[in-house]
Amino acid sequence: MFNRIKQALINTSGKISSGIDNIFFKKKLDDNSLNELEELLVAADMGSAVAALLIQRLKTTKFDKDITVELIKEKLAEEISNILAVSNNKFTCDHPGLNVILVCGVNGSGKTTTIGKLAASYMQSGKKVAIAACDTFRAAAVEQLAEWSIRSNTMLFTGDIEADPASVAYSAMQQAIANNIDILFIDTAGRLHNYQNLMDELSKIVRVLKKIDPIVPHHCLLVIDGTTGQNVFNQVEQFTAIAGVTGLIITKLDGTAKAGAIVGIVKKFALPVHFIGVGEKIDDLKQFDHLDFAKTLVGI
């Protein structure tokens, strides 16, 4: 698994690792070298606030003395893992009875595929899983979920084309309870965070589900395209305000040099990253390990 992460993050880690090699080769840890490192971290999409914080913490390590590249990478990985430590708690679906997981995200983030992979994983672990297809305005989304439902042997709840997504979610939750389902994934339509009518629709789904059980959804997962970089901050802010996001899934990390943005997102919003996508296969969605991720990011 560690090797898979290394391969997926090779674009970002290569950029950071080679940059550190060039900056600290036979040099002191001084203001000049730290300024260069700060610029490197910002360029890797970590954001200016996180870069400044990491530099401040590095100043406590043999400042103004000769230092090895290895020590810099180890210290940087340690500080990054501390920021990401909010993700340390393993994602669980252990609520007695039905666990309801609402999944949201912008168009093209890989949301529907991610649900299919998660459903297959939980079926393999012995859970009884169902999926609610609440993207009622895109027939292809329902067809895609139907394919995943067949592949993973999960139950699929659908509504009529252009049916009210909230009513489909409500009916799906009732049917899931009646069928003693352990986990119900609710797939919502991809929507841009600044389209108010679509965000209102998402808010309505949450309100309607709470009429059945006021503590649902038990998880609200926001799927983020890893190639988005710093532009994802507005997404996280708006989806959290509307749907109460509880955790993140980062997809497409195998095709980006912007994976450093994850550190900035976690630092700003204190939201855990639960899973990361490292490829297209059914088993290419992996639980996030903040220690492995931090080490890989700096090239250790």
Predicted pLDDT at 161 = 79
Tokens 């914080």 found at:
53
Asked whether residue 11 is marked as a ligand-binding residue, the answer is no
The strand order across the sheet containing 155-157 reads 155-157, 129-133, 183-187, 99-104, 219-225, 247-251, 273-277, 285-287
Helix (H, G, I), strand (E, B) or coil at 225: strand
Asked whether residue 160 is marked as a ligand-binding residue, the answer is no
Asked whether residue 106 is marked as a ligand-binding residue, the answer is yes
Asked whether residue 105 is marked as a ligand-binding residue, the answer is yes
Asked whether residue 189 is marked as a ligand-binding residue, the answer is yes
Q: Which CATH number fits domain 90-288: 1.10.3470.10, 3.40.50.300, 3.50.50.60, 3.40.50.1980?
A: 3.40.50.300
Asked whether residue 188 is marked as a ligand-binding residue, the answer is yes
Asked whether residue 107 is marked as a ligand-binding residue, the answer is yes
Asked whether residue 213 is marked as a ligand-binding residue, the answer is no
Asked whether residue 145 is marked as a ligand-binding residue, the answer is no
Q: Is 151 exposed, middle or buried (0-12, 13-18, 19+ CB in 10 A)?
A: middle
Asked whether residue 252 is marked as a ligand-binding residue, the answer is yes
Predicted pLDDT at 195 = 67
Along the 300 residues of the chain, how does pLDDT read in single tens digits?
556 667 767 778 888 999 999 999 877 889 999 999 999 999 888 889 999 999 999 988 887 888 889 999 999 999 999 999 988 778 999 899 999 999 999 888 889 889 999 999 999 999 999 999 998 877 788 888 899 899 888 999 998 878 899 999 999 999 999 999 999 999 998 877 666 777 888 999 999 999 999 999 999 999 999 888 777 888 899 999 999 999 999 998 776 667 888 999 999 999 999 999 877 777 778 889 999 889 989 988
Asked whether residue 136 is marked as a ligand-binding residue, the answer is no
From CA 234, how far away is CA 220, in angstroms rounded?
Answer: 17
Structure tokens at 19: 């940059």
Predicted pLDDT at 232 = 86
- Domain boundaries in the chain? 2-87, 90-288
Asked whether residue 60 is marked as a ligand-binding residue, the answer is no
Quick one: fold of 2-87? Four Helix Bundle (Hemerythrin (Met), subunit A) (1.20.120)
Predicted pLDDT at 255 = 67
The tally of CA atoms less than 13 A away on the side-chain side of residue 205 is 33
Residue 15 Cα distances to 10, 24, 109, 215, 294, angstroms: 8, 14, 24, 44, 14
Asked whether residue 138 is marked as a ligand-binding residue, the answer is no
